[in-house]
Copies of this chain bind each other. A is one copy, B any other.
Amino acid sequence: MVRPDAPFLAACRGERADHVPVWFMRQAGRSLPEYREVRGPGSILDAIRDPERAAEITLQPVRRYGVDAAVLFNDIVAPLAAIGAGVELTQGTGPTLEKPFRSVDDLARLRSLEPETDMPYVAETIRILVRELGDVPLIGFAGGPFTLASYLIEGGPSRSHTKTKAMMYGDPALFTAILDRLADIAITFLRSQVAAGASAIQLFDSWAGALTPSAYETFVLPASRRILSALEDLDVPRIHFGVGTGTLLELMAAAGADVVGVDWRVPLDDARRRLGPDTAVQGNLDPGVCLAPWEVLATEARDVLARNAGRPGHVFNLGHGVLPETDPDALARLVDLVHAEGRTDGPHLTAGEG
């Protein structure tokens, strides 16, 4: 049973915790030998659709590292695949679409998600996890509107998001309609994860950092705000994350996040100064540092802790997902260091107390 004073949940609410909590984006996955053992061949969707296997993969890093939160083994495009939007997930490539989104006719491919019939295995996985995790909170998640729209419109991963921006600027009505449907799907998906037992959620708008602040505010923020507002009554922490979002942090907080994910490009002291006392932060060690010798990794991790300077409302994490080349032993030592040396001794933030 997860207690409300679990360090991860307390930190998300901006409250002092027994220790600085830590988890890692992509803590389950390719960097773990035990993952490669149970993952099986075929699409990652096969593993996601198998509750026992998905739960086992979710649990592996909790067992190995003693992290303060589990994150559901799933994928941000899984709900889109489940409603038949035409998204494929092949190993090593990321999401692809044979027919990328081009016109208003494609909107029909984004019907409402019905979790009980489209993805019954998710609730089943979460029910197993809640039982197995005991007092460790489970984080559910969904893809953010810009990131999912980019996959749909580009037809795959993109560096420049050219077609996405062309539609955003050239046919804002269609772009907005796509984001609106993606927001509806995210709301339904996230609410169903919380209903099944997730204790917190993260909205991964990983590629939102490709936009100017003004484009983000005009075209993306309304959809993100709608998603995060629609979860308010559930009273679970809402984390909002993107990569390269150094100029978007305030807007991502304004979307209704309790916790803003910060990548390594923004020093954490700057991020906290900019976000102010009402918003907790998550981050922000460069994942590349985890490939360094232990002394360097330890120094850099201590620098992150020092920049937070004991303020409550810090969830330690990497600035993006664990790199596949990462040595699991390095992450294990990192968790121990954060637990041993991370302190929150400042006053509570006001965020969770309103």
| B-binding segment of A76-84, A118-126, A159-167, A331-339 | A159-167
| B-binding segment of A181-189, A223-231, A261-269 | A261-269
Given A162-B325, A244-B244, A325-B162, residue A169 in contact with residue B267 (CB < 8 A): no
Partner of A289, one of B159, B169, B247: B169
Q: A264 to chain B: which residues have CB within 8 Å?
A: 212
Does A45 reach chain B (CB closer than 8 Å)? no
Instruction: Check A288–B162 contact: CB distance below 8 A.
Output: yes
Instruction: Check A266–B244 contact: CB distance below 8 A.
Output: no
Partner of A169, one of B165, B270, B296: B296
Does A209 reach chain B (CB closer than 8 Å)? yes
Q: A222 to chain B: which residues have CB within 8 Å?
A: none
Q: A289 to chain B: which residues have CB within 8 Å?
A: 165, 169
A151 to chain B, nearest CB (A): 15
Does A214 reach chain B (CB closer than 8 Å)? yes
Given A247-B266, A264-B212, A265-B244, residue A166 in contact with residue B291 (CB < 8 A): yes
Given A169-B292, A244-B265, A291-B169, residue A286 in contact with residue B212 (CB < 8 A): yes
Partner of A286, one of B215, B247, B265: B215
Rounded to whole angstroms, the CA-CA distance of A213 and B166 in the bound complex is 32
Q: Using an 8 Å CB-CB cutoff, how does the interface string of A290-316 with B read, 1 for contact, 0 for none?
A: 011100110010010000000000000
Instruction: Check A288–B160 contact: CB distance below 8 A.
Output: yes
Rounded to whole angstroms, the CA-CA distance of A24 and B297 in the bound complex is 40
Partner of A291, one of B162, B246, B300: B162
- Considering only residues 132-187 of chain A, those with a C-beta below 8 Å from chain B are 159-162, 164-166, 169-170
**Which residue, of A212, A264, A292, has the highest number of chain B Cβ atoms within 10 A?**
A212
Q: A170 to chain B: which residues have CB within 8 Å?
A: 291-293, 296
A217 to chain B, nearest CB (A): 11
Instruction: Check B288–A209 contact: CB distance below 8 A.
Output: no
Q: A196 to chain B: which residues have CB within 8 Å?
A: none
Q: A6 to chain B: which residues have CB within 8 Å?
A: none
Does A287 reach chain B (CB closer than 8 Å)? yes
Rounded to whole angstroms, the CA-CA distance of A162 and B162 in the bound complex is 25
Q: A297 to chain B: which residues have CB within 8 Å?
A: 169
Rounded to whole angstroms, the CA-CA distance of A165 and B270 in the bound complex is 23
**Which residue, of A169, A287, A292, A323, has the highest number of chain B Cβ atoms within 10 A?**
A169
Instruction: Check A265–B291 contact: CB distance below 8 A.
Output: no
Q: Which residue of B lies closest to A267 (CB)?
A: B213
Rounded to whole angstroms, the CA-CA distance of A337 and B286 in the bound complex is 41
Query: A: which residues have CB within 8 A of B?
Result: 159-162, 164-166, 169-170, 209, 211-215, 244, 246-247, 264-267, 270, 286-289, 291-293, 296-297, 300, 303, 323, 325
Question: 4 closest Cβ contacts across the A-B interface?
Answer: A165-B288, A169-B292, A166-B291, A246-B246
Q: List 12 A-B contacts (CB under 8 A).
A: A162-B323, A165-B286, A165-B292, A166-B292, A169-B292, A169-B293, A169-B300, A170-B292, A209-B244, A213-B267, A214-B303, A244-B244
